[in-house]
Amino acid sequence: MSRSRHGSNPSSSAKICVPVCETSLGTLRAIEWADFIELRLDCLESDPDNLTEILKDISGPVILTFRPSEQGGHRQLSREERLRFWNNVAPRSERIWWDIEGDLADEISPDWSRVIVSHHDFNGVPDDLNDIYKRLAATPAQVIKIAVQANDIVDCIPVFKLLDEGREIIPIAMGNAGIATRVLGPSRGAFLTYGSLDDETATAPGQVTARNLRSLYNIDQIDDDTIVCGLVGLPVMHSVSPQIHNGWFAAEQLNGVYLPFEVKDVDSFITRMVHPRTRELSWNLRGLSVTAPHKQTVMDHLDWIAPDAKEIGAVNTVVIETDRLLGYNTDAPGFIDPLLRKFDSLAGRRAAIIGAGGAARAVIWALRRQNANVTIFARNVSKAESFGVACQPLASATFGDYDLVVNTTPLGSSAYVGQSPVTAEQLSGVRCAYDLIYNPADTRFLSEARKAGCDTIGGLEMLVAQAKIQFELWTGRKVNTDFTDECG
């Protein structure tokens, strides 16, 4: 039987509950990083029994949950079945908490000092969220839990605002867009947050592992003064930027955290959550990394843009300085940095750029600044002509006369694993092949390049190089650790 490592950080005010959803309680694994264990009894294949004996082997507080499918449970449970369980089966003790749904609150008689009364909505943030809160707050329960689906990051705003209502509460925005509520919630007064045992056992959308909450996001150290930075894009969960920047915050002993921000509507996000003059959330937001598809759109909301970023036509870094938003492009110097370790000079070198999308902008600008001769190879040559450099069709291209070939397409990324825009035969004779993709670290394009005898540069080198510049812009600190091995 598993044993909780209860109180792994007793001095921390951040409490993590690890949910356990198993078909049999006899299959429980060792649980670490947990202040509470939640037993999801609705996951059992049969009705729970002998709970008192099982609970003897689990140290620390336990939350019992017996949730119907319409509230996110794993079984069809009638109201009568749930009432029978809570009134006749569920054990009571000083370390056992009950998590009951709000619709049952009037028909059970627990020790209310250890009851969480909850509501879940997996569709979105309901229009009557405040009314739901008031109904739950009218019960004698010690803690209120409200979990709603975040379909965009601005859905976190009403969830965070529940913390201002005065009751002990667990407010959760589920989904990738709601991760900020899971990481920052405890520092803003949430009773606890939920962290899964591992990525495969998450019991709700967007649930971060308990290990990552503590070791990656350093949840125990977050407070009102914590510098908050994050990655803005869609999607963002594949990114290793949180590992890089949070590693640097730890190495530099800075009170900071870097989060993934899944943003659909960047206009609403900047207005309601970012810009100091209009944001609805009080937090120490210091900076943003910006990735696809928002590098151009975000420029409309900035108070100042660096000249090189204006020339490139894309911003990938935002600095919040007093009441202004400043825009930079660190992709260009980040791209060039690994190349200058391969070539003494890029002047006069022939460079082929595969792809004519947004990722090519900073690459082409940076190479031209180094006086390289640049040609774009694209499926859509007419689109490529807008970049103002020579253009060739990709389909029949050979690159033997080129010193450098750069893949700026998404082929080979996690969404297109195993694909490459070109073959080893096409790359034969090329001195260096450079793939901007960093996840996975070893792409099919790089594999083809090695077969052709090329030197290679992976996207992680560029990611780390440009991230160092971002970190210095946000914090004023230069870093030497690159975390390439850890992230690769």
Q: Which residues are catalytic?
A: 295
Calpha distance 248→483 (Å, rounded): 9
Phi, psi of 40 (to 5 degrees): -85, 90
Phi, psi of 134 (to 5 degrees): -65, -40
Within 8 A by CB and 6+ apart from 321, the residues are none
Q: Are 224 and 467 in contact (CB under 8 A)?
A: no
3-class state of residue 240 by DSSP = coil
Structure tokens at 84: 């029978």
Q: Are 473 and 329 in contact (CB under 8 A)?
A: no
Task: Give the residue ranges of DSSP H helices in 278-420.
Answer: 307-312, 331-339, 359-369, 381-384
CA 237 to the chain's CA centroid: 5
Q: Which helix (H) or strand (E) holds 262?
A: strand 256-262
304-305: strand order across its sheet: 256-262, 227-233, 285-290, 317-321, 324-328, 304-305
169-174: strand order across its sheet: 169-174, 143-149, 115-121, 96-101, 62-65, 36-40, 16-20, 193-194
One DSSP character per residue, 272-301 reads III-TTT-SS---EEEEEE-TT-TTGGGGG
Calpha distance 350→404 (Å, rounded): 6
Q: Are 54 and 48 in contact (CB under 8 A)?
A: no
Calpha distance 458→442 (Å, rounded): 7
Strands (E), 357-444: 373-378, 390-393, 404-407, 432-435
